[in-house]
Structure 1
Amino acid sequence: MTALHYREARPEDAEQVALLHADSWRRHYRGAYSDAFLDGDVLDDRRAVWSTRLAAPAGSATVLAEDAEGLAGFVHLVLDHDGRWGSLVDNLHVAHRRHRTGTGTELLARGARAVAERAAGPSVYLWVLEQNTDAQQFYRARGGTCVERTAVPPPGGDPSQLHGAPAKLRFAWRDAAALLPARPPRPDR
């Protein structure tokens, strides 16, 4: 497996981020989001989201992981998103070829560093689909605590893009420092 390089996302990265995000949703959100949405409009939806986010990144942090094959994963945080829960890990996606290689763990740690360096408070949280038990196991193994269950809002506010009434779970960490490794990685990795 080739080495990874990490860097902050730029506006010109929107297409690659959208492609990975759409692929991840197609793999992991089937059964919660409608097949028509996942097989149709999801890529256009993600392109619009990422073009906007990366063009105006104020109050957020997006870190990319790249290898010789291209984008290997990314984490996107909205800093100080919630007065109670802190900064939101709004997205963490890893290319299928990089699953179970430590890429997600390192991206989460780099997101935690952004919280420590740029957020007003240390708390961090995220939402995960109730059906995504692998992701829940990943977050629990990194010290996350499930603190809430609620309904998934439909993408773009369109209820037809959901399949049934899926639920999501809030995982929280009181201090993002819990996501940092004991020894920081080299800056160029």
Structure 2
Amino acid sequence: MAPQFRYAGPGDAEAVARLHADSWRRHYRGAYSDAYLDGDVLGDRLAVWSSRLAAPEGTRTVLAEDGASGDFLGFVHVVLDDDPKWGSLVDNLHVTAARQRTGVGRALLARAAAEAVAHASSPALHLWVLEQNAPAQAFYAAMGADHVETLLVGPPGGDPTRLNGTPAKYRMAWPEAAACAAQAR
């Protein structure tokens, strides 16, 4: 069954935070400290998402749900016109473990690009991916993104004890969000 999409609202904060925390625990181990990931990362993410979804000005959060069961499959969060050079930011894209590599991520990225095309003044789109996350880098490259910059990861919540060493992140960019949306079809 193809996923169905809708905008997230304040009542979705817990589901979004749960998936975000689970995804970080699965994919950010090594970059983020085990103490942080094994601790109250869910509480941290719930605070972030409760705030974001209560005041979504300048952002779009799109949820993917199973059309038959209504089960939550994933989400994408876009910050419109985040950067004067790089355009709108895909700030988060997470898919449940059971639905990875089934087209949900591709469809969510296409939705993010479409939101940027429809609502942003800049045509560009970008995101950050951890250096250690080679599968995600390959996915974004297959969707037409170029690796244009490398920086150090900032610690979650500004707390440096939440990082292991000095992990790096890559900026992946599309000069035209419309091209990203087209690549997803």
- The answer to whether TM tops 0.5 is yes
User: 1:139: which partner in 2?
Assistant: 140
Q: Residue type matched to 1:125 in 2? A: H
Whole-Å separation in 2 of the counterparts to 1:176 and 1:7: 20
User: 2:101: which partner in 1?
Assistant: 100
2:140·2:172 contact (CA, 8 Å) conserved in 1? yes
Q: Alpha carbons of 1:183 and 1:15: their partners in 2 closer, same or farther (altered >3 Å)?
A: closer
What is the TM-score of this pair, normalised by structure 1? 0.94
Displacement of 1:32 in angstroms is 0.2
Whole-Å separation in 1 of the counterparts to 2:4 and 2:106: 14
Whole-Å separation in 2 of the counterparts to 1:106 and 1:177: 14
What is the TM-score of this pair, normalised by structure 2? 0.96
Q: Residue type matched to 1:88 in 2? A: L
Whole-Å separation in 2 of the counterparts to 1:79 and 1:131: 27
My pick for the range that moved more, 99-108 or 69-78, is 69-78
Displacement of 1:5 in angstroms is 1.2
Whole-Å separation in 2 of the counterparts to 1:40 and 1:34: 10
User: 2:40: which partner in 1?
Assistant: 41
State yes or no: 1:53 paired with 2:80.
no
Q: Residue type matched to 1:20 in 2? A: L
Q: Alpha carbons of 1:182 and 1:105: their partners in 2 closer, same or farther (altered >3 Å)?
A: closer
Q: How does 1:102-181 map to 2 (within 5 A)?
A: 102-181=103-182
Q: Residue type matched to 1:55 in 2? A: A
Whole-Å separation in 2 of the counterparts to 1:102 and 1:124: 20
Q: Give per-residue Cα distances to partners, 1:140-180, cap 9 Å, x unaligned.
A: 00000000111000000000000111000000000001122
Whole-Å separation in 1 of the counterparts to 2:184 and 2:139: 20
Whole-Å separation in 2 of the counterparts to 1:78 and 1:166: 23
State yes or no: 1:75 paired with 2:76.
yes
Whole-Å separation in 1 of the counterparts to 2:152 and 2:143: 24
Whole-Å separation in 2 of the counterparts to 1:152 and 1:14: 24
* Structure 1: gaps (5+ residues): 185-189
Which 4+ runs in 1 deviate beyond 3 A? Answer: 181-184
Whole-Å separation in 1 of the counterparts to 2:141 and 2:4: 26
Displacement of 1:183 in angstroms is 9.4
Q: Percent identity?
A: 62
2:110·2:184 contact (CA, 8 Å) conserved in 1? no
* Structure 2: gaps (5+ residues): none
User: 1:30: which partner in 2?
Assistant: 29
Instruction: Note the aligned Cα RMSD (angstroms).
Output: 1.3
User: 2:65: which partner in 1?
Assistant: 66
Q: In the comparison of the two structures, how many residue pairs are matched?
A: 183
Q: Residue type matched to 1:7 in 2? A: R
Displacement of 1:182 in angstroms is 7.2
2:106·2:184 contact (CA, 8 Å) conserved in 1? no
